[in-house]
Each structure stands twice: as C-alpha cells, then as structure tokens.
Amino acid sequence: MCKDSKIHSFLQQLPKCEHHVHLEGCLTPELMFSLAARNGVTLPDPDTRPEFSSAEALYERYEHFTSLDDFLSYYFIGMSVLKQKDDYEALAWEYFQKAHADGVHHAEVFFDPQEHINRGVPYETVVMGFKAGCQRAEREYGMTTKLILCFVKHLPASDASKVFDLAWERGDFELGGALHGIGASSSEVGPPKDMFKEIYATAHSKGVQRTAHAGEEGDPSYIIAALDAYKSQRIDHGIRLIDSPSLMERVVQEEILLTVCPVSNIKLRCFDHISQVPIRMFLDAGVKFSINSDDPAYFGGFILHNYCAVQEAFGLSVTEWRTIALNSIQGSWVEQDRKLEMENRVHEHIQKHQA
C-alpha cells in the first residue's frame, strides 16, 4: 500500500506485465494445509517443527528467512501437497485472481516440473492443471499468459534434460502449445553455473525462448554464464550487476531485461532495505527491468506490493513509471499486436492520471 492514495490507485491501475513469479511460490499456508488434508500428505510434525502447527506459525517463520536456501527448504516442502490436476489449477487460479486485482495484463509464470515428477506426479498432470488455470485467466480476465518451464539447479541436469525432451516431444513448445520458454532456478551458489548448457543450446537451436535466474546471491560471473552459456534473453533478478559496471554496460547494449523482485531481495537478505535495490541506478544507467513478486505467498505480497515498496523507497515520477511499464511490455514474450495494445493502455492510463 502506498501512503498516498492517489499514487496507490495510479500504480494499481498501471497496466503491468509480470515475468518472474513461481506458481509454487503462490501457495499460501491456508491452501497448503487444505491440500495436505485433502491429499493425505504429511507435512513436518508440529512437535518437532512448530512452524508447521498453523498458517499463522508458518507466516511468522516466513518473516525470518536467512537466505535463498533457507527459503527454498520451505518452498519445496510446501509444494509437496500438490497432487492432482485440480490442485495445480486452483493454485494458478488463486495467483491470477490476485494478479488481475493488482493490474496485471500479461503474466509469464514459472513452474518446477522436476520436483513434482520426483514425487510421482506425472508431468502431464502438472502442465494440464497449470494450463487450465492460465486458460481461465485468459477467458475471464482477458489476460495473456505464458508458462515457463524452470529447471532446478539442486537436481541433476540429466533429469532436467529428460523433462525438456518430454515437453519437446509432446509439442508443448509449439505455437499454441502449453509452454513458451525455459528458465533455471533454485540454489544459485554451489551448482555449476552452466549446468544446463546443453539443454539451453538445444532450446536455442529449436527457437525456444530462454531466461535464467542469475546474480541473485551469486556474483556477476553467474550473469555472464547465463548470457554466454545459455544465450539467455532475460536475467531473473540480476541485481549483482551492481558489482560490474562493464557487465552493466553490456546488459544495456544488448537490451537484456532484468526481472527484478525487490521484496524478495529483502526477505532473502540480498539487501537490508528496498532503498538499496538498484532501481535508481538501473533507471539512470538505462538498464531495462520489470518489477515482480517472485514467491508472493512466502514474501508477504503480490506484484502491487512490490510496486508500492519501490515507490515508497524511491519516489519515482510518472515518467519513470511509464518507462518501467513500457520496458516490461517490450521485454515480454508476446505477439507484437498485444504489445501495441498494452502500450496504448499505458499511454491512456497516464493521460487520464495527468488530466
């Protein structure tokens, strides 16, 4: 919530594109407990892990993440309650309702199939459930949506390769298919920086869109690996770019979009305060970025919460918000007509605000 109600409503209605949200990161404790009961999934015992005694206790624990890996340990337990197609659809639909209320017009959402497959949930169940949620958002809200298949770095690259091959053979990356690109996430520092190099090279040769988490906790060399070894078209997070002026210059020249997640960066202790997230530096340097929620059910707020946090910390002008909105549209993996339509909506919204 922005302190100024006029600015709050300006930001709420500003047409947004979200490029960095993990559907599994939209699983609220309430939905987690209800799906665990319905599916007979055992969550950690509250006697030994009191944080799993209630939704309130989990929310309390979520206030104290110490690092990306600390958060991920909760995120991977949470998603274990997802079993049936309806669970996946319900989770996606909960996200899209929040996103719509926050002024999202176009959403490109991540999911982690390897984790579900490893628990015995068929790939098809996951994709069909999430896809049904996307289709409902398109039908009921006129949103455009894209599903991005994320590989997780804490599991073997050979597993990721099998998932990619399966998705490719099913035609999921074809026009009208369920998927629109690949990403890479989970623990950053530790696994090899270029562990999915072969998959990304295949994806590139087949014309599949590519993004990758890099430079969240890892130094700029992780961003370089994503650009060089993965030919990544976007960088998810990318905040450690602040440690390399020459790389920042390259990102500007190559018009790489960073999908920045300010509240996530605070919750996972990348920075102490939002004012340290390099929003001002990126705007001044001409680095293109979008603002995103990452794992909103774990970090205490959806996309508008991130927009407001940025506004409170930086006091951006309407012109700067226009730049952010237009760069977000330009960096989206969506047809040119749709980009033009969204750009027009941004201009109309700003004119109305200034009238």
* Residues contributing to the annotated binding site: 20, 22, 213, 294-295
- The residue behind tokens 């035609």 is 171
Question: What gap in Å lies between CA 269 and CA 92, rounded to an integer?
Answer: 27
* Residues 188 and 214 sit within 8 Å (Cβ to Cβ): yes
Residue 7 or 304 having the CB closest to Zn ion: 304
Decide whether 14 or 186 has the Cβ nearer to ligand HPA: 186
Query: Which residues 6+ apart lie within 8 Å of 209 measured at CB?
Result: 148, 180, 181, 182, 233, 333
In the complex, residue closest to ligand HPA by CB: 185
Q: Residue 103 corresponds to which tokens in the numbers above?
A: 């002024």
CA atoms of 110 and 108, how far apart (whole Å): 7
CA distance 147 to 109: 5
Q: Does 234 bind ligand HPA (CB under 6 A)?
A: no
CB of 20 to Zn ion, least distance (A): 6
Q: Does 264 bind ligand HPA (CB under 6 A)?
A: yes
Q: Print the binding letters for residues 271-310 with ligand HPA: x by CB under 6 A, - otherwise.
A: -----------------------xx---------------
Applying the rule CB under 6 A, the residues between 199 and 218 that interact with ligand HPA are: 213, 216
Neighbours of 215 (CB within 10 A): 29
- The contact pattern for Zn ion, residues 292-311, with x = CB under 5 A and - = no contact, is --x-----------------
- The nearer residue to ligand HPA, 94 or 294, going by C-beta atoms, is 294
Contact indicator for 24, 18 with CB cutoff of 8 Å: no
Catalytic pick from 30, 216, 217, 249? 216
User: Residue 185 CB, nearest distance to ligand HPA (Å)?
Assistant: 3
Q: Which of 102, 24, 44 is nearest to 301 (CA)?
A: 102
Among 48-56, 62-70, 286-294, 325-333, which window interacts with Zn ion (CB under 5 A)? 286-294
Contacts of 217 (CB under 8 A, 6+ apart): 67, 68, 188, 189, 240, 268, 270
Choose the one of ligand HPA, Zn ion, none that binds residue 94, judging by a C-beta under 5 to 8 angstroms depending on kind.
none
CB of 71 to ligand HPA, least distance (A): 7
SS3 212: strand
Count of alpha carbons within 13 Å of 69, Cβ hemisphere only? Answer: 9
Which one of ligand HPA, Zn ion, none interacts with residue 327, CB within 5 to 8 A by kind?
Answer: none
Residue among 52 and 75 whose Cβ is closer to ligand HPA: 75
Return all residues near 312 (Cβ < 8 A) that are at least 6 apart: 2, 3, 274
Residue 229 pairs in a beta bridge with none
User: Binding residues for ligand HPA, how many (CB under 6 A)?
Assistant: 11
C-alpha–C-alpha distance, residues 31 and 79, integer Å: 10
Q: Say whether 188 is catalytic.
A: no
Using CB under 5 A as the binding rule, whether residue 24 contacts Zn ion is answered as no
Counting contacts by CB under 6 A, is residue 185 touching ligand HPA?
yes
Between 145 and 186, CB nearer to ligand HPA: 186
Q: Is 25 in the site for ligand HPA (CB under 6 A)?
A: yes
Q: How far is the CB of 213 from Zn ion (least distance, A)?
A: 5
Identity (one letter) of the amino acid at 280? R
Q: Give contact residues for ligand HPA (rule: CB under 6 A).
A: 22, 25, 68, 75, 185-186, 213, 216, 264, 294-295
Residues belonging to the active site: 216
